[in-house]
Every structure is written in C-alpha cells, then in structure tokens.
A and B are shown apart, each in its own frame.
Chain A
Amino acid sequence: MNNNLFGYEQDQGPKITQLTELNKDSSILNSFNDKNNVNNQSGTLDLESIKNNVDNGTKLSVNAAKKNYEEGHDVSMSAYLFVLLEFIKTIVSDIDNTNHSKILGDIGHDVGIRIYELVNFKLLNPKKSMSTKSALIEKMDNYKYIDNLSHGSTLNISQVPSSEEIYSYISTTTVELEESGVIKNLKHLSFITLLQFIQDTIWKYMFGKKADDIQKINEDDSSYAIIDNDPLIASLVLPAKVNEFICGIIKGVVESANYKCESVNTQILEDKTYNNKSAYIIKLQK
C-alpha cells in the first residue's frame, strides 16, 4: 500500500493545482480562429440548438438544486451510526496500517472542508431575500452570450469587459452583500470568532446542538479547546475512534478558514454526570 493513497496528507498539507492560462496559449487561439477546422465552419453543427439544450439543462439542474436546498432533509441517527461503525470497523480490520487514527483524521478532514463550504454557502444564500439585479450586473451577464460562434466569427477580444467595468461590478456586488449582513459571517479576523463559529453554527449544523464550552489553554494564544459534555455520535459507538474523526473535521474547518493548524487532539475528561465528556484541543502554528 502506498502512502499517497488518500488524497490528503497531514504532513504535507493540501495539494496545489495550477491553473493553465488558456488565453495566452497560442495553439488554442489558433485552433479557435482556423476557418479550415471542421468545428469552426458554419452549418456543420447546429450550435444554437446545442446552446438552447445546455441552457435548459442548466436551468433544470439549478432548479432541482434549489428545491433540494429548500427542503432541508434529515435522516435518522441510527442509520448514521450503523454506517459510521461499519466503515470504522472495515478500516481497522482491513487496512494493515498501525496508524488508523491518521486515516480517520484524513477522512474527517475531507468532511470538514465540505461542511465549511456548505455552511458558508447557506449563509450567503438566505432563503427569503432575492436581491434585484442592477443594470450593470445584467450587462455583465450578457457578455458571455455575445461571442457568436455560429457564424464562424473569430473570438473577439474587444468583447471582454474592461478592467474599470470589472472593478465597478465587484464593488457594487460587495455593497449589496454587506447590506444583507453576510460579509460579517464570512470573515473570521481573529481565531476566537472562528472558534465561536465552530462551537455555535457548525456544531448546530452537524449535531443539532451547540458545543458546551470553549477554553483557552496557553497564555500565548496558541492552543484552544472545544468541550462537549455529551458528544452525539461518540456517545454510542467507539468513543475514542469517533473522536479522532471529529478532530479531523475540526482540522478541516480551521484550515479551510486560512489558519495554520498544527494538530488537533482529543481527550476524554473525567466527570461525575457525563461519561463521555470530551475535549478537542486545537494547536496553532506560531
């Protein structure tokens, strides 16, 4: 078994993918402008019908996604626990690697990234308000329909909006977002607001309740702890293993919010009333 099998490596950090610059690639532009190319000749392809099809398809899928988002499903917890226990069992029994906690952490990291993105998306798109489009935004939307490939024309660079227009477009949209109070939720300027965000919003999103406490451990602002008296999914199934999975989730959230996280550890605290009172300790890089 290779070490590189699981897409994310805790030691190396996330992989970086590099964007290719299409516009500067001369061969692509040449193939676009070549009139002898079969794909560029008018009449060989019914481009308009294809375009209509694609447009309808995207509209349908967008509507379906919207419907899905508005419904807000829930499932039973026993189904979740069955699946979680079974997967943990197969990982521990099938993969002959002594470092199972790292694998569980990596899986949790994947979950954490996606959950951070999802929650932020939901904060950005509240269900009620649909902001009205200004004239400038409509103009920007129309740019992508202007390049008329069906008449065999070349890709016209002058149709691309100028930098001033782009700047004004960006500035107007951000103003609208600020009015709806979204910008505040997106940026976590200090680590404590991010901790509160995890304790409040993300735990409520995942488990339907808040985490009970946040604590600062060192005085040099490097390590913090989130404390949960009765962790929902760890209360029934293998508390130590599931806590490692939750640690991975927290690490994913912290890293996708642009904080450098050294490690997240877990510990089960002794308590008279709660059996599984557990602390998730986050260590930041200095």
Chain B
Amino acid sequence: MSSNISSEKTNESSTVSQVDPDYQKEIFLKQLGEHVYQQNMKKINAEFFNVTYGSFVRTLIDFYDSDADKCNEKLKAMGESIGSRLIDDFYSKVTNQIPRCSNLKDLGNTIAYVGFKMYINTVPRVIFDETNRTIKFRFESNANIFNKFVELPDDIKEKKLYYSNIVSGIIKAALAGIALNCDVEFISDTLLDDQYTDIQISNVTRIKDEVPMGQ
C-alpha cells in the first residue's frame, strides 16, 4: 500500500507541478511576507518615518563635521545593535511558517520578500551571482523608502556618504544572530547619482559551535 501511495504522489507532483520548485518557493515567500505584514505588524506613516530618520542623520553629520567615513561607520554600528535585537523580533512574528534556507539563493529571497517587506514595506529585486557567491538587493529609482524627499549637498556627495547605511549593519548583525558570518556593503546609491541602489552580501560562512577552551 505504502509503495502505491508514494508512487501516486510522485506521479502527481511530476504532472501537476511542472513549475520550477524554486519559483514556487519564491511565490510562497512573497505571500508569507504580505500576510505577516498585514496581520502581525502595527503600522505607522512612512513619510513620518522618513522625515524623522532624515533629521537624525543630519544631526549626526553635523556632529562629525560632515566627515562621511565616520558617519558611514557610525550608521553601520548603530545598525548592528539594531539587528541583533531585530532577529528575535523577526522570528517571534513569523512564527513557524518560514521554511529553512537550504542555499544562498533561498537566504536572499527570504531577506528580500519577508524581511524587507515586514519592516519597510518595499521589496527589492534579488540578483544572485553564482560564481562570486554574492547576493545583491537592488532598489529601483524611487523604491528605497529612506531616500524619499532626500537630496544630499555636493560636498557630502563627493565624500560618498551612504545615506541609508544603517540597513547594511542591520542585515549583518541579524545574520550573525542565526550563526552566519558575512560582509554587507552598499555599492551604489541613487542619491549619489547612480541608477540603482545596490546592497551586496558577500563571503557568507557559517559560524561553527566550538567548545570553550579548558572544558
């Protein structure tokens, strides 16, 4: 009996789902992100968020005498302390519905379709590069919610301030919370007159559990 059932199942799956299973997984993740955002999250006005973030960043730039490198570092450090708490919040709201990530592509899709959707309500395009093993999140011209209403002055533009650099820190620390080590950087930003806003994840390695010395 059991062998019959299993063979039927395989037949069904081969006939009905000729769709790529990766594609199915993507659609499931998209629906999950939409569902979690609508059901489990409290909401607040995006423009209010945007204006508040902008005036705090302006204060930060003034505090560091418009030194863009220090501002980038500081924003990233702040993002890291957010991310280490955000990963707990993420798992408490998604509950058990989220499937495990078996490869890099799954990881990118989960961050984009569930993570970004849940918190800032925009979904970037995911570009996966197999040879270099990197993931890129690409925001089209106006999609990045931080960049709305924002224009950088010329001197800061030349020094390459990545305005929403806090996001890279958040991703890095959140992945460290689930035992993944990686480098996250901004590559381009529409505020610096690039065509897209790109965030790149590279060098993903797993942190191994090690027994402390002397035990």
Tell me if B46 is interfacial: C-beta within 8 Å of chain A. yes
Contact with B along A104-124 (1 / 0, CB 8 A): 001100110011001000000
Tell me if B119 and A79 are in contact (CB < 8 A).
yes
Closest to A94 in B: B63
Known: A95-B63, A208-B43. A64 touches B51 (CB 8 A): no
Chain B residues within an 8 Å CB radius of A86: 78, 81-82
Tell me if B46 and A74 are in contact (CB < 8 A).
yes
Tell me if A76 is interfacial: C-beta within 8 Å of chain B. yes
Of A68, A77, A110, A114, the contact of B42 (CB 8 Å cutoff): A77
Tell me if A78 and B119 are in contact (CB < 8 A).
yes
Chain A residues within an 8 Å CB radius of B141: 64
Tell me if B55 and A107 are in contact (CB < 8 A).
yes
Chain B interface secondary structure, helix, strand, loop or mixed? helix
Closest to A78 in B: B89
Closest to B37 in A: A76
Chain A interface secondary structure, helix, strand, loop or mixed? helix
Of A64, A95, A206, the contact of B48 (CB 8 Å cutoff): A206
Chain B residues within an 8 Å CB radius of A89: 81
Q: Given the complex of chains A and B, what is the CA–CA distance between A240 and B149 in angstroms?
A: 29
Tell me if B133 is interfacial: C-beta within 8 Å of chain A. no
Of B37, B52, B62, B121, the contact of A5 (CB 8 Å cutoff): B62
Q: Given the complex of chains A and B, what is the CA–CA distance between A107 and B61 in angstroms?
A: 13
Tell me if B103 is interfacial: C-beta within 8 Å of chain A. no
Tell me if B166 and A76 are in contact (CB < 8 A).
no
Query: Considering the complex of A and B, which 6 residue pairs feature the smallest CB-CB distances, nearest first?
Result: A73-B46, A77-B42, A110-B55, A76-B41, A79-B119, A87-B56
Cβ contacts A to B, 23 pairs, < 8 Å: A1-B63, A7-B58, A68-B142, A68-B148, A73-B47, A73-B122, A75-B46, A75-B49, A76-B121, A77-B41, A77-B42, A77-B43, A83-B56, A83-B166, A86-B78, A90-B74, A90-B78, A107-B59, A110-B58, A111-B51, A111-B52, A206-B48, A233-B44
